[in-house]
Amino acid sequence: RLRLHDGKLIKDRRYHLRTYPNCFVAKELTDWLIDHKEAPDRETGIRLMQKLMDHYIIHHVCDEHSDYKDAKLLYRFRKDDGTFPLNKDVKVFVRGQSLYEKLVSVEGSILKVREENAVKYQRTFLGCEMVDWLVQEGEAENRKEAVELGRALLEHGIIQHVSNRHHFFDSDILYHFWINFRRRRRLTELLNENSSRTLSESPDSPFCLRKLNPDPGNTSFLSVQPNKEIKIVSAVRRSSITSLAGNSNPYFGVTPTLVFPPVAECNPKSVLKRPVTNEELLSPGAPYVKKTLTIVGDAVGWGFVVRGGRPCHIQAVDPGGPAAAAGMKVCQFVFSVNGMYVLHLDYQTISSLIMTGPRTLVMEVMEAVE
């Protein structure tokens, strides 16, 4: 957006006796993308701009077109007309970017290359150093507010404990900026990102056990293998990761031609006796212990069900499955998946992480101390 402003592609334009401020012509922008090596061809350029439209970053000036058309039509960045949706996630990301730029541009910055357990980390800082700096620079009114800001940055994946074992604390624990905001990114990277949007549109978790035949004598399930191919598994012990029966599901590797019986949802009610918050799990002295589980999926899956969000919990575990063999139990909370901190995520996002990850799944879970 800023480069387009500098290049005068974004400017006030007049059309049908009306002036539209800060807009660009779609055809001119596609040319610009190719000329500046941001897209190899027009088709890719169109896909890139459609991605920005889908994420509410650009739109047609009169909102008459929901698709990006490579034509002499006027579009505009939502940040240029005040319609960009600044939700909580976006605000935290923008705040993190602002703090990062401020930190790297000052002399004697607290961001340094440091070593821990014989591993060097870039852009690191101590938790207490960050709290000191936030208060001194007026970014937070007090240490408590600074810790809350640090926790928000960590929960949104902007900063991270160097070995991903701790939340943010006002102590000498070492953290680093997980995102390098100054790395030059190319627009084509957007097309390679895995999106969990299709998952989040599903009314139920794709980890929810769903019987194809409600007959108690039949144990057939519709299940997704670790390689994401759909198959019907008859007389098996479980369905580990399940899918909705419908053409809109992204995990159908082949055209579904089967006529499915009515779907009966298993475990519709949460197994938790009461809601538990992240703050309760992570507070010092809380009656929870963290465990690391290594689960090797088999031909059917991993053998567990995830539900809820912020934090997610284990809703069901097949007694004869890989997850149970690894020590997974119901009511455990999902702390991390393959090294990624996930307490702040919902089940759709965690589902996507597991579905697109390796067959050998490493999970950190937190369970109540009896």
- Which tens digit of pLDDT belongs to each residue from 312-340? 999 888 888 888 888 999 999 999 998 88
Q: Which of 156, 177, 198 is the last residue of a domain?
A: 177
Give first-to-last CA distance, the chain, whole Å. 55
Assigned domain for 138 exists: yes
Query: What is the pLDDT at residue 193?
Result: 60
Q: Are residue 42 and residue 108 in the same domain, yes or no?
A: no
Assigned domain for 5 exists: yes
Q: Computed over its alpha carbons, how large is the radius of gyration of the chain?
A: 24
Q: Are residue 319 and residue 352 in the same domain, yes or no?
A: yes
Q: Are residue 103 and residue 136 in the same domain, yes or no?
A: yes
Q: Which of 177, 201, 224 is the last residue of a domain?
A: 177
Q: Are residue 144 and residue 163 in the same domain, yes or no?
A: yes
Cβ proximity of 355 and 224 under 8 Å: yes
Low-confidence ranges of the chain (pLDDT < 70): 193-268, 299-300
270 residue type, one letter: S
At 313, which CATH number? 2.30.42.10
Q: Are residue 92 and residue 124 in the same domain, yes or no?
A: yes
d(CA 370, CA 92): 36
Q: Are residue 319 and residue 290 in the same domain, yes or no?
A: yes
CA 311 to each of CA 166, 208, 268, 279, 369: distance values in angstroms, whole numbers, following the listed order: 15, 17, 18, 10, 17
Q: 70 is in which domain, residue-wise?
A: 1-77
d(CA 271, CA 117): 39
d(CA 137, CA 130): 10
Q: Are residue 98 and residue 68 in the same domain, yes or no?
A: no
Assigned domain for 94 exists: yes
Q: Are residue 287 and residue 355 in the same domain, yes or no?
A: yes
Assigned domain for 318 exists: yes
At 158, which CATH number? 1.10.10.10
Assigned domain for 251 exists: no
Q: Pull the structure tokens for residue 269.
A: 């009610």
Q: Pull the structure tokens for residue 246.
A: 């419908």
Query: What is the pLDDT at residue 268?
Result: 52
Q: Are residue 132 and residue 58 in the same domain, yes or no?
A: no
Domain count, the chain: 3
Assigned domain for 241 exists: no
The candidate with the shortest Cα–Cα distance to 15, out of 46, 48, 67, 60, is 60
Assigned domain for 307 exists: yes
Q: Which of 131, 155, 177 is the last residue of a domain?
A: 177
Assigned domain for 46 exists: yes
